Amino acid sequence: MAAQRRIDLVLDSVKRLLRIGATANLLNLLQKQHPADLAQIFSDLGDKEREAAFSLLADRNGRLAMEAVSELGPEAGAALLGTRTAEEIAKLAQEIPSDDAAALIDYLPEELSGAVLDLMRPKESSVVENLLEYAERTAGRIMNPHVFALSEDITVGEAITELQTNRDVEMVFYLYVVDERRHLVGVTSLRRLLLVAPETPLKRIMTADLISARADMDQEEVARQVASYNLLAIPVVDEENKLVGVITVDDVIDVIKDEATEDIYRLAGVAGDERAFTPAGESLRKRLPWLGINLITAFLASSVVALFENTIDRITALAIFMPVVAGMGGNAATQTLTVVVRGIALGELTWGNSRKALMKEALVGLCNGVILGLLAAAVAGFTRGSLTLGLVLCAAMIINMFVAATAGTLIPLGLRAADIDPALASSVFITTLTDIIGFFSFLGLATIFARFLIP
Amino acid sequence: MAAQRRIDLVLDSVKRLLRIGATANLLNLLQKQHPADLAQIFSDLGDKEREAAFSLLADRNGRLAMEAVSELGPEAGAALLGTRTAEEIAKLAQEIPSDDAAALIDYLPEELSGAVLDLMRPKESSVVENLLEYAERTAGRIMNPHVFALSEDITVGEAITELQTNRDVEMVFYLYVVDERRHLVGVTSLRRLLLVAPETPLKRIMTADLISARADMDQEEVARQVASYNLLAIPVVDEENKLVGVITVDDVIDVIKDEATEDIYRLAGVAGDERAFTPAGESLRKRLPWLGINLITAFLASSVVALFENTIDRITALAIFMPVVAGMGGNAATQTLTVVVRGIALGELTWGNSRKALMKEALVGLCNGVILGLLAAAVAGFTRGSLTLGLVLCAAMIINMFVAATAGTLIPLGLRAADIDPALASSVFITTLTDIIGFFSFLGLATIFARFLIP
């Protein structure tokens, strides 16, 4: 937490210096910060303060300002950048790697992004435009197209010289080797270059068996490859296996975080791109449709209750325990659903081993139902002085928790098999099911045994 | 998905070769796999098959077998390893880095892990025992203690020679520089060594301002540092700033995934260490207490309904719309809670900007309540032919969705301020609140306006 305290101190100073207008001191302080810390400071400032601090820094140290903007993420970054003119944005965008520039420009309002691209140097803007042609969430969209590659025909000594002369390429972890038509043919490392004689042909020490990503590969799959093979970077190739870019592990970490956020959100019925500070109007627009669907499903559940209006009319106590049956089913379903959806996302649960998972969840659901059903029966039977009411409650809970467990497993697995994101089988859908099954079994059984229940 | 298909094909062959007992072919096939792929194959096999395949590989290629076991994760890995004798485990554990060995040994049954440590080479077992002395989930526990360091007093040429002679150190991204008492004083990179003359003192080209982690730092904080500063590795130091280990980005990715899983689980009331294939008995034991708490809260909500038994007795239609008020409040609360909890986890939402978040959520909650309340009122009023019933439903929904939004923001923020994991403010607790507020406001308003409601 020491880092956080340091940032909080800097934040206080920034606010104070802004207030008293001590621009020289402020600039000095901002320039000493790491881009990631600056991003944190920017996001903690008020809108006016943020724009003032950014504009001050952008005029003096465009690269640092833009690195901080990149760290803010494309949405918040573009919002901050959008406060400047197209000319200024075009100039600033050229300070950072093209993939970061592309991500920001993509989030600018359309007329502004067009103007910015027109104002950039033709070479830079064409690189950005190329990147934007790849579909969203693919390897091509997040790769850095400036990838350093060595020719397979040179020697180790020549390779070292090339590295020494290309001082401005981004940090190199792996050295990719290409043939004369830029087909990716191998990989080696700086360290391995140092372990052999300079006249050794590069071909002899490279590894030909390497993992690469196609430019149209889904970014989630790219992240899975980098994570499971413990890579620091993955080369990106086109359909002819020509090297077109590289994705480094720091971008993969962002993908992993975003995908985890999306899973968490989808389970709760929130749009994947909503953030804590998405404007209220936009949040409302994003959440309302989902709640609207819920309203329909809620009325569906309430129509099940309506079927048994006569029974409730005669035995009011049923209304008191209805929420217990439905609620416990919903909670048990959420537990199962969460474990299953996460298991699928982490690649642990596949169609192949789904039978095993189903058997397990069904067993757990049944046991939970019996234990909690008996407990609930004891409480209800005792407080209302009716053994039959207790037994009806118990039976309904067993049925509902068993259904919750099996549906909580089968629905996400089925969606996955149909190539739909299983997280969309959100707790909300499954809760509708447990509401309906819960009300139906509880009120249905109560109707059947009504003559034993009427006080 | 091509990688997955390849693994599935290998899996089928492994099963077939096991069935016909073609051990030579099987061994040949297994040895060609990447450890991560082997781990996937192991986890897809049945228990008996997995043990047979692992034991075959362990006898012939202990290192590869153990790398695959490490990739399985400590829990599943230790379960597989536990099928062998202590002697065999001790021998196998020495094939992998000490941090991976420590993680596995920690998950073995106590008497077995003690025996294994006794049987390992004293030097190796003391390294493992040292690691196990750090608290769980700290930097010390997940670091690799074999960190390559250079003395600050040597030249660049001498540093390169040292790298050439230490062929067995793990891949080096950063070269850490230490003083004569092993205090961490700087960092440089292999690439930078190549850009200067060999007689340059190392001190001259190192960066003294570097980010390190204390051994007792929480692993989540370590992951946050590595992710926000885009590091490939972070050096770990003790309280005197002496270099004791290094954590690489692949371990950080595992931490990020585990922490995301834990957040998702906690929001749903599932224990952080449960997985899709945790045995049924253990899952039951882990989930029951949580469902037990829910049963208590469910009875709490039902006791609110019981307060209004007389009103329901007179107006049965109330029982039909009760679930709508409670359910919609629960769904809205889950949305807010998820966005807030994730915002806190990603570091976007802090105590400093919480007022802004609260205002936003309250506004969204109010608008949702008004829009959906009016819709629900129209449906209820129309189907039951009672304007008053519709208005009572609408008012209750507005109240409940406003409470859902403010509580969904304040509870996790409050927990965070009290240093409790905000994800524990799980949907379940908040749903109890919305059940209670929903029932109370709906049935309470109905009681007040009862004379307009009685048909």
Structural contact between residues A96 and A63, judged by C-beta atoms closer than 8 angstroms:
yes
Structural contact between residues B186 and B163, judged by C-beta atoms closer than 8 angstroms:
no
Percent of chain A with pLDDT over 70: 97
Residues of chain A positioned with their CB less than 8 A from the CB of B343: 275-277
* pLDDT of residue B173 exceeding 80: no
Structural contact between residues A398 and A367, judged by C-beta atoms closer than 8 angstroms:
no
pLDDT value, residue B368? 94
- The residues, ordered by sequence, that sit 6+ positions from A29 with a Cβ below 8 Å of its Cβ are A10, A13, A14, A17
Bridge partner list, B216: none
Residue of A nearest to B306 (CA): A320
C-alpha torsion A26→A31→A37→A42, nearest 10: 50
The answer to whether residue A144 is domain-embedded is: no
H/E segment holding residue B186: strand B184-189
Residues B124, B167 within the same domain: no
Q: What CATH code is carried by the domain that includes residue A186? A: 3.10.580.10
Nearest to A276 among B260, B335, B349 (CB): B349
Residue found by looking up tokens 């379960």 in the block: B79
Length of chain A: 455
pLDDT value, residue B455? 60
Residues B202-227: pLDDT tens digits? 999 999 989 999 999 999 899 989 99
The answer to whether residue B370 is domain-embedded is: yes
Q: Tell me how far apart the alpha carbons of residues A80 and A70 are, in angstroms, rounded to a whole number.
A: 11
Of B238, B190, B189, residue with least CA distance to B212: B238
Residues of chain B positioned with their CB less than 8 A from the CB of A303: 320
Q: Give the best residue of A228, A241, A251, A282 to mutate against chain B (max B CB count within 10 A).
A: A228
B268 touches chain A (CB under 8 A): yes
Residue span of the structural domain in which A311 resides: 280-453
C-alpha torsion A284→A287→A292→A298, nearest 10: -120
- State whether B230 and A36 contact (CB < 8 Å): yes
Residues B430-451: pLDDT tens digits? 888 999 999 999 999 999 998 8
Residue of A nearest to B251 (CA): A230
Residues A374, A430 within the same domain: yes
Q: Tell me how far apart the alpha carbons of residues A378 and A385 are, in angstroms, rounded to a whole number.
A: 10
Q: Tell me how far apart the alpha carbons of residues A251 and A71 are, in angstroms, rounded to a whole number.
A: 11
pLDDT band of residue B264 (cuts 50, 70, 90) is: confident
Of A179, A218, A172, A220, residue with least CA distance to A347: A220
Residues B168, B25 within the same domain: no
Structural contact between residues B151 and B177, judged by C-beta atoms closer than 8 angstroms:
yes
Q: Give alpha helix (H) positions in B147-279.
A: 156-165, 190-194, 202-205, 219-228, 249-268
* pLDDT of residue B1 exceeding 60: no
H/E segment holding residue B247: strand B243-248
Phi, psi of B210 (to 5 degrees): -130, 160
pLDDT value, residue A183? 95
Residue of A nearest to B222 (CA): A1
Q: What CATH code is carried by the domain that includes residue B333? A: 1.10.357.20
Identify the three-state secondary structure at position A108: coil
**Total number of domains in chain A:** 3
Residues A202-214: pLDDT tens digits? 999 999 989 999 9
The answer to whether residue B70 is domain-embedded is: yes
To the nearest whole Å, the CA of A77 is away from the closest chain B CA by: 13
Amino acid at A239: E
DSSP class of residue A196 equals S
Percent of chain B with pLDDT over 90: 54
Task: Pick the last residue of a domain from B113, B138, B163.
Answer: B138
Phi, psi of A24 (to 5 degrees): -65, -50
Q: What CATH code is carried by the domain that includes residue B127? A: 1.25.60.10
Residues B200, B329 within the same domain: no
Structural contact between residues A148 and A167, judged by C-beta atoms closer than 8 angstroms:
no
Q: How many CA atoms lie within 13 A of A133 on its CB side?
A: 8
Residues B153, B117 within the same domain: no
Structural contact between residues A343 and B275, judged by C-beta atoms closer than 8 angstroms:
yes
Identify the three-state secondary structure at position A429: helix
A165 touches chain B (CB under 8 A): no
pLDDT value, residue B168? 65
User: Judged by CB atoms within 8 Å, which residues 40-79 of B form the interface with A?
Assistant: 40, 43-44, 71
Six-digit token string for B203: 């001190």
The answer to whether residue B258 is domain-embedded is: no
Residues of chain B positioned with their CB less than 8 A from the CB of A274: 339
- State whether B334 and A290 contact (CB < 8 Å): no
A427 touches chain B (CB under 8 A): yes
Residues A331, A360 within the same domain: yes
Residues B171, B35 within the same domain: no
Q: How many CA atoms lie within 13 A of A178 on its CB side?
A: 19
The answer to whether residue B131 is domain-embedded is: yes
Residues of chain A positioned with their CB less than 8 A from the CB of B195: 164, 167
pLDDT band of residue B407 (cuts 50, 70, 90) is: very high
Task: Pick the last residue of a domain from B92, B115, B138.
Answer: B138
Residues A15, A128 within the same domain: yes
H/E segment holding residue B119: helix B110-119
Residues A312, A410 within the same domain: yes
Q: Tell me how far apart the alpha carbons of residues B201 and B198 are, in angstroms, rounded to a whole number.
A: 8
Of B144, B173, B190, residue with least CA distance to B231: B173
Q: Tell me how far apart the alpha carbons of residues A50 and A41 are, in angstroms, rounded to a whole number.
A: 9
Of A439, A435, A369, residue with least CA distance to A399: A369
DSSP class of residue B424 equals G
Residues A296-317: pLDDT tens digits? 989 999 999 999 999 999 999 9
Residues B289, B437 within the same domain: yes
Residues A422, A336 within the same domain: yes
Positive/negative CA dihedral, A25, A29, A31, A35: negative
Q: Tell me how far apart the alpha carbons of residues A269 and A283 are, in angstroms, rounded to a whole number.
A: 12
- The residues, ordered by sequence, that sit 6+ positions from A134 with a Cβ below 8 Å of its Cβ are A140, A141, A215, A216
Residue found by looking up tokens 């810390």 in the block: A37
Q: Tell me how far apart the alpha carbons of residues B347 and A257 are, in angstroms, rounded to a whole number.
A: 12
Q: Give alpha helix (H) positions in B315-426.
A: 317-345, 354-384, 387-417
Structural contact between residues B285 and A314, judged by C-beta atoms closer than 8 angstroms:
no
Residues A7-59: pLDDT tens digits? 888 999 999 999 999 999 999 999 999 998 999 899 888 888 999 999 999 99
**Residue B206 CB coordination number (10 Å):** 20
The answer to whether residue B255 is domain-embedded is: no
A324 touches chain B (CB under 8 A): yes
Q: Is the pTM of this model over 0.80?
A: yes
Task: Pick the last residue of a domain from A137, A172, A198.
Answer: A137
Please return the burial class of B110, using the count of CB atoms within 10 Å of its CB with bins 0-12, 13-18 and 19+. exposed
Does ipTM surpass 0.85 in this model?
no
Q: Tell me how far apart the alpha carbons of residues B380 and B389 are, in angstroms, rounded to a whole number.
A: 7
Residues A36, A178 within the same domain: no
Nearest to B357 among A8, A276, A318 (CB): A276
Structural contact between residues B165 and B159, judged by C-beta atoms closer than 8 angstroms:
no
Q: How many CB pairs under 8 A join A and B?
A: 330
Q: In what order do the strands lie in the sheet with B149-151?
A: B149-151, B174-178, B184-189
Q: What is the DSSP string of B259-304?
A: HHHHHHHHHHT--TT--TTS-HHHHHHHHHHHHHHHHHHHHHHHHH
Q: Give the mean pLDDT of chain B.
A: 89
Residues B61-108: pLDDT tens digits? 999 999 999 988 888 899 899 989 999 999 999 999 888 899 899 999
Identify the three-state secondary structure at position A113: helix
Residues A207-242: pLDDT tens digits? 998 999 999 999 989 998 998 888 999 999 999 999
A212 touches chain B (CB under 8 A): no
The answer to whether residue A269 is domain-embedded is: no
- The residues, ordered by sequence, that sit 6+ positions from A454 with a Cβ below 8 Å of its Cβ are A314, A315
E strand residue ranges, A142-290: 149-151, 174-178, 184-189, 213-214, 233-237, 243-248
Q: Tell me how far apart the alpha carbons of residues A85 and A115 are, in angstroms, rounded to a whole number.
A: 10
Averaged pLDDT for residues B408-426: 83
Phi, psi of B381 (to 5 degrees): -60, -40
The answer to whether residue B328 is domain-embedded is: yes
Phi, psi of B56 (to 5 degrees): -60, -50
Residue of B nearest to A346 (CA): B257
* pLDDT of residue A1 exceeding 50: no
